[in-house]
Amino acid sequence: MVGIALHFVGCNADDGSGRVNANCDFERVITASGLSDTLLKYKGMTVSFNSEKHVPNWVAWELTGGEADGSEPRAQDFMVDTSVEGCANPWDYSYSGYDRGHMAPAGDMKWDAEAMAQSFYMTNICPQVKSLNSGAWKRLEEKCRNWARIDSAIVIVAGPVLSDDLTETIGRTGVIVPQRFFKVILSPYANPPRGIGFIMNNGYVDGGMQSAAVSIDSVERVTGHDFFSELPDSIEDEVESQCRFHYWSTLKSR
């Protein structure tokens, strides 16, 4: 995986095959208008950082089956990205009652030491209630790794829902506390391609992942972001309208 996104003319052209062009930049997200938006290219993820709210608007990354089984040890230290204006400090979260919640999880970065370390930048972190961070959110992260093994590769975008009326902040930096989080997942090389979305409250998720499952279209309506716009229109319309949790949940590793 590399952090530099490549764009190709005609990438989203539909050739009628129902298959997806592997050269498309599926990590490209059109951020909701009105949000502070600093685009950061790290080795294992792309981050749209909100310097006013001190959290990411979204974090996007590809996860392959091989990467899901990496052996790099988990990093231990959260870090400020000193090159980014408005980046929070790890101690903003101290005694706040909130976990430092990864958007792109460290468990997805075990394929490379640099990618692992960069996943602990505060540009990838949001305040999360522990019952979410160690509950349904964590279980969904584990499911994504399994889906990557099954489908060879998936693309994930996750972040806070910043369209809500948010007033609570933590720390001297004034880090905004989200009320909800989203995750959208695209399996572009499955036959046929498929997608699913999730919206979870920042707390215990009653009913778990299944209760939080929605279509990618629904996540777009809630957040204002536009995901996977480089898909051919016919494929994008289909995968973004789906909410087939039972199908995803019954997939078995090869």
Chain centroid offset of residue 243 CA:
17
Which amino acid appears at position 5 of this protein? Answer: A
- Which is the catalytic residue, given 7, 54, 102, 246? 102
Q: Which amino acid is at 72?
A: E
Distance CA 71, CA 79 (A): 22
On whether the CB atoms of residues 64 and 156 are closer than 8 A, the answer is no
Instruction: Check: CB of residue 116 under 8 Å from CB of residue 106.
Output: yes
Quick count: other Cβ atoms within 10 Å of Cβ 106? 18
Residue 54 is a catalytic residue: no
Query: Is the CB of residue 171 less than 8 Å from the CB of residue 125?
Result: no
Helix axes 233-241, 216-223, angle to 10 degrees: 90
Instruction: Measure the CA–CA gap between 218 and 216, rounded to whole angstroms.
Output: 5
Query: Distance between CA atoms of 159 and 124, rounded to whole angstroms?
Result: 9
CA distances from 237 to 126, 168, 233 (A): 30, 36, 6
Q: Which helix (H) or strand (E) holds 246?
A: helix 245-249
Active site residues: 102
